[in-house]
Chains A and B, each alone.
Chain A
């Protein structure tokens, strides 16, 4: 067990170093002079130009720059945004709860819909429901979510007026940010209607972001269920004359869910890619939108730090899923 654990953790170190190299290279490969960009139409005199290059550490040899960068990263210093001059880590931490909140809600919606649909499709294999739901989920899987999000806004916000167009909560509410999670904060605030407003703001973005995971979960659950239903112990259970419902829930589902849960865990990367688009469309103040903005504003320290942070989060989640999976399923543990 320990060996398995150590191998998995050991594998992550070179990947992490690789990502730091990528992030480091990024700011140096970008075309154009970052100092010149800061100055804008007004321009900058050569003296000040040199001084600012020194401030940004661009005047030292590359290897030294990388050394400085790595030692800073290990101390939690990911640089400062060119635009806001705030430490990148601080910005990330203030925005990250919004992304987590959105992602968690998306995954919950995806599971609430995807699992039952997948199970039902497997149980009623070959039925109209099976075909229809699998057709819908393949469509969902193929959905360009930036367009899907626009359609949702067009239908529910613009035409029906049911949900707000963007943001996390109505600006008219005036409560403190305690946890950064709007649902919790609005609830704690006790302000009348604030929680409802937060929920209404969250619905469309969660659906948009949850669509692809929902489709994946439904398809995965179905095929996993089908596989399990063919196993001997299910046949045995059937032969014993156990009630169908009991077989499905107690025996089949339990085993079918293991691979599904792994898929959910590994979907973090996919979810994040989706969050970039969803947050941009719904003006959701999260990490994805922040990174897109940083490209637009050419705020390269933010992009550099953000890439490293996001990659780290994704790697950590994947590692956790791997380890948990190893715990649940001893076959994997001993495979290597």
Chain B
């Protein structure tokens, strides 16, 4: 069984040339095969697609505006409960806003901020990791020590500290989560770079006179993408979770932004009267996080078939 995707590809071409028996599958096809063999991963992917559609077309899909207050409909229960109405399928909150619409718009907030956080932290992490792995020496020590410091603090606490400095807002919370997530990417990239650098193809390119920048971006990076992709997928779920936690503590998105965690911030006060205010935003978070974790697991198995038994 091939050891990694790239080697699989290499082996495949070699076999192609040698035998000429039934053509082995293209690496992407093979990957897809592995990926879809996990039912969980497929479910995860489907849910993520649905969430993405909700996020993009929130304005069209949501039955009502997320911030519109219906002054005559405070704390209306969901449609299927006595006293509920089809107008507000999941009920309304304390100032008469439609919970379903807020959750749909919340998907937009979480998905877009999640994407932003993952992209930025991935980019920063890769950059720092490449530098550390390529430069070695003092630069590496300084970068890695900084990452150690960041990892010494529980992630949520570090995020809280950052928000305390920057002030509570969605953008600042996103920035905090970027910083908290970064060390993982740095470590992964550095480790991968160091492994790759000792390989023959890198030495060959060096001999051929490839500059360090070209070497890093064109040669080394593509070869250490697999663990990064997995980490990024799992990182997405962490980002959504951390953003929601900050929102819940009043340190993330500020009302009236329909962010799921923020929607739960005052939920404790309704716990005795309006379970629907408490239940649905959390369920949305859980489903999203679970979907990304399922897909991350599937990706890991597909990209690293060695672990698959």
Chain A directly contacts chain B within the complex, with at least one CB pair under 8 Å? yes
Judging by beta carbons under 8 Å apart, are B149 and A19 in contact?
Answer: yes
Kindly state the separation between the CA atoms of A226 and B271 in the bound complex, as whole angstroms.
Answer: 43
Which of B157, B241, B279 makes the CB contact (< 8 A) with A144? B241
Interface string of B197-229 (1 = CB under 8 A from A): 000000000000000000000000000000000
Residues of A within 8 A of B285 (CB): 144, 147
Which of A19, A142, A281, A296 makes the CB contact (< 8 A) with B289? A142
Stretch at the interface among A51-59, A198-206, A267-275: A267-275
- The residue in chain A whose Cβ has the minimal distance to the Cβ of B249 is A292
Judging by beta carbons under 8 Å apart, are A146 and B264 in contact?
Answer: yes
Whole-angstrom distance between the Cβ of B303 and the nearest chain A Cβ: 17
Chain B CB within 8 A of A303 CB: yes
Chain A CB within 8 A of B148 CB: yes
Residues of B within 8 A of A141 (CB): 293
Kindly state the separation between the CA atoms of A281 and B264 in the bound complex, as whole angstroms.
Answer: 11
Kindly state the separation between the CA atoms of A315 and B150 in the bound complex, as whole angstroms.
Answer: 11
Stretch at the interface among B54-62, B120-128, B131-139, B158-166: B158-166
Chain A CB within 8 A of B268 CB: yes
Interface string of A120-150 (1 = CB under 8 A from B): 0000000000000001001101111011101
Chain A CB within 8 A of B282 CB: yes
Interface of B (DSSP majority class): helix
Judging by beta carbons under 8 Å apart, are B278 and A314 in contact?
Answer: no
Interface of A (DSSP majority class): helix
Chain A CB within 8 A of B154 CB: yes
Chain A CB within 8 A of B98 CB: no
Residues of A within 8 A of B261 (CB): 144, 146
Chain A CB within 8 A of B267 CB: yes
| A18-B149, A30-B165, A291-B160 as given contacts; A277 in contact with B155, CB under 8 Å | no
Number of A-B contacts (CB under 8 A): 131
Residues of A within 8 A of B286 (CB): 139, 142-144, 147
Kindly state the separation between the CA atoms of A276 and B157 in the bound complex, as whole angstroms.
Answer: 8
- The residue in chain A whose Cβ has the minimal distance to the Cβ of B291 is A142
Residues of A within 8 A of B27 (CB): none
Judging by beta carbons under 8 Å apart, are A270 and B148 in contact?
Answer: no
Chain A CB within 8 A of B309 CB: yes
Which of B161, B165, B248 makes the CB contact (< 8 A) with A146? B248
| A150-B267, A291-B160, A303-B164 as given contacts; A138 in contact with B290, CB under 8 Å | yes
| A311-B153, A315-B152 as given contacts; A150 in contact with B245, CB under 8 Å | no
Judging by beta carbons under 8 Å apart, are A307 and B249 in contact?
Answer: no
Chain B CB within 8 A of A151 CB: yes
Which of A19, A151, A292, A300 makes the CB contact (< 8 A) with B152? A19
Residues of A within 8 A of B272 (CB): 158
Residues of B within 8 A of A242 (CB): none
- The residue in chain B whose Cβ has the minimal distance to the Cβ of A270 is B154
| A226-B309, A296-B250 as given contacts; A18 in contact with B148, CB under 8 Å | yes
Kindly state the separation between the CA atoms of A166 and B263 in the bound complex, as whole angstroms.
Answer: 21
Judging by beta carbons under 8 Å apart, are A276 and B156 in contact?
Answer: yes
| A144-B244, A151-B282 as given contacts; A269 in contact with B155, CB under 8 Å | yes
Chain B CB within 8 A of A29 CB: yes
Kindly state the separation between the CA atoms of A18 and B157 in the bound complex, as whole angstroms.
Answer: 16
| A277-B249, A310-B157 as given contacts; A15 in contact with B152, CB under 8 Å | yes
8 Å CB interface, A44-74 against B: none
Interface string of A295-309 (1 = CB under 8 A from B): 110001001000100
Whole-angstrom distance between the Cβ of B295 and the nearest chain A Cβ: 11
Whole-angstrom distance between the Cβ of A225 and the nearest chain B Cβ: 13
Kindly state the separation between the CA atoms of A291 and B163 in the bound complex, as whole angstroms.
Answer: 13
Chain B CB within 8 A of A249 CB: no
Whole-angstrom distance between the Cβ of A227 and the nearest chain B Cβ: 9
| A150-B264, A276-B157, A291-B160 as given contacts; A14 in contact with B165, CB under 8 Å | no
Most buried by B among A269, A291, A300: A269
Residues of B within 8 A of A11 (CB): 148
Chain B CB within 8 A of A221 CB: no
Chain B CB within 8 A of A258 CB: no
Whole-angstrom distance between the Cβ of A139 and the nearest chain B Cβ: 6
Chain B CB within 8 A of A31 CB: yes
Judging by beta carbons under 8 Å apart, are B294 and A138 in contact?
Answer: yes
Chain A CB within 8 A of B251 CB: yes
| A138-B297, A141-B293, A142-B237 as given contacts; A150 in contact with B271, CB under 8 Å | yes
Residues of B within 8 A of A277 (CB): 156, 245, 248-249
Which of A14, A135, A158, A295 makes the CB contact (< 8 A) with B145? A14
Judging by beta carbons under 8 Å apart, are B153 and A280 in contact?
Answer: no
Interface string of B21-52 (1 = CB under 8 A from A): 00000000000000000001000000000000
> Assuming A277-B245, A281-B268, what are 17 further A-B pairs, CB within 8 angstroms?
A15-B149, A26-B165, A31-B167, A138-B290, A139-B286, A139-B290, A142-B289, A142-B293, A146-B264, A147-B283, A270-B154, A277-B248, A291-B157, A291-B160, A295-B163, A307-B161, A310-B157
- Chain A contacts to B: CB under 8 angstroms: 11, 14-15, 18-19, 22, 26, 29-31, 135, 138-139, 141-144, 146-148, 150-151, 153-154, 158, 226, 269-270, 272-273, 276-277, 280-281, 291-292, 295-296, 300, 303, 307, 310-311, 314-315, 318
